[in-house]
Structure 1
Amino acid sequence: MSEQKLAAELRTEFGKGYARRARMANLIPAVIYGHGAEPIHVTLPAKATTLAVRTANALLSLDINGEGHLALVKDIQRDPVKQIIEHIDLLTVRQGEKVTVDVPVHVEGETAPGTVHNLELTVVSLEAEATHLPESVVVSIEGRGAGEHIHGSDLVLPKGTVLLTDAEALVINISEAVEIAEETETEAAAEGAAAEAPAAEEAAAE
């Protein structure tokens, strides 16, 4: 994952009132912490930052008054209605440093005819270099048959990463599609019977 370069400005004001004014000025309040240092409070340009953090575990290269800081996005607070970013927590990292991140599982391919796959784990935890973080773990299910299982130990990990999720954890389960179809038909029949019951009662009452 490449670094996203952003210009940041130090801030000395805090609180909801300041945060509201900052957002009106197209700025996002953020805090940088880590390595035992005092937290650094900054503001980031809203548009560029929103684009930069679209991917999980975004790595930001910040210019703070001419001084460079590498920081990993750890938490994003959003407005529950508007979904705009209200605040970002950043973790200071160094070149070559190992960090723990949760990475989404991306499924590719199609299972054998008459089967379906169920993604049991949507993310896995990895240890990786802070400046070489993978965006996802790709799992191929091409041609997989019913009854097959893919566990953590079966994952092909990006170079330089170590799996922290339990190796025995079930990631993907392949099953017969007919089982799901039968369940759907049974549920539909039950719903139909429930809908017909009141009509039958009304007819009997008449």
Structure 2
Amino acid sequence: MSEVKLATSVRTEFGKGAARRVRRENKVPGVLYGHGTDPVHLTLPGHELLLALRTPNVLLSLDIDGKSELAIPKAVQRDPLKGFLEHVDLLLVKRGEKVNVEVPVNAEGDLAPGNYLLEHVLNALPVEAEATHIPEAVTVSVAGLEAGASILAKDITLPSGVTLAVDEDAVVLQVLAAQAEEPAAETEGEGETAEA
């Protein structure tokens, strides 16, 4: 897992007006919390943070007034229309510490020939991993699967040091038979009403 370094500064102004001023400077207001410490309100560089958040569960190395801290994103708020970052909550982590995160599930391979659909029951798999070794994603082969087949959490091969944080019998992916819609047939009663 890659570590992204971000230069941050501590915020002393709070409220909507202060947050708007921060965003006008192409920066993002955020808060860092965890390990029983008091929350630290930060200003983060907008573009660099946006690029970093493209990687799921990215590990951020924050330079806060000359002190380096490690954090992972916990909650990200975006503008619903324009998509820009409005606020980010960061969780303080230490090297070697285990954290619970959700890892995206990627399916590879072709289903058996036929009219089948692959349903992602879980788009992300809850796992426990060391904060500095969180996998970016897990890949599952669905090659040759037919309707009725399902892949459970325990069937997914995880990297070493990563364990499931969900019931091992939880369904992650399942194959369904696609159903074609039948054209609506006009009944006799409807036809008579239309003529009248």
After superposition, residues 28-107 of structure 1 pair within 5 angstroms as: 28-107=28-107
Task: Structure 1: state its 5+ residue gaps.
Answer: none
| 111-120 or 30-39, which deviates more | 111-120
Provide the residue aligned with 1:153 in structure 2: 154
Provide the residue aligned with 2:140 in structure 1: 139
Provide the residue aligned with 2:181 in structure 1: 185
| TM-score normalised by the chain length of structure 2 | 0.92
Which residue identity does 1:55 align to in structure 2? T
CA distance in 1, matches of 2:144, 2:58: 33
Which residue identity does 2:72 align to in structure 1? L
CA distance in 1, matches of 2:83, 2:29: 15
More helix by share: 1
Provide the residue aligned with 1:125 in structure 2: 126
Which residue identity does 2:63 align to in structure 1? D
SS of the aligned residue for 1:50 comes to: helix
Listed one character per residue, the Cα deviations across residues 23-74 of structure 1 (whole Å, up to 9, x for unaligned) are 0011111110000011111101111111111122121001112110101100
> What is the RMSD of the two structures over their aligned residues, measured on CA atoms?
1.9
Deviation at 1:201, TM superposition (A): 4.2
CA distance in 2, matches of 1:198, 1:96: 71
SS of the aligned residue for 1:184 comes to: coil
Deviation at 1:119, TM superposition (A): 1.8
CA distance in 2, matches of 1:155, 1:200: 58
SS of the aligned residue for 2:136 comes to: coil
CA distance in 1, matches of 2:95, 2:86: 28
Task: Structure 2: state its 5+ residue gaps.
Answer: none
Deviation at 1:97, TM superposition (A): 0.5
| TM-score normalised by the chain length of structure 1 | 0.88
Deviation at 1:81, TM superposition (A): 1.6
Number of aligned residue pairs? 195
Deviation at 1:86, TM superposition (A): 0.6
Deviation at 1:148, TM superposition (A): 2.1
4+ runs of 1 displaced by more than 6 Å?
Answer: 197-200
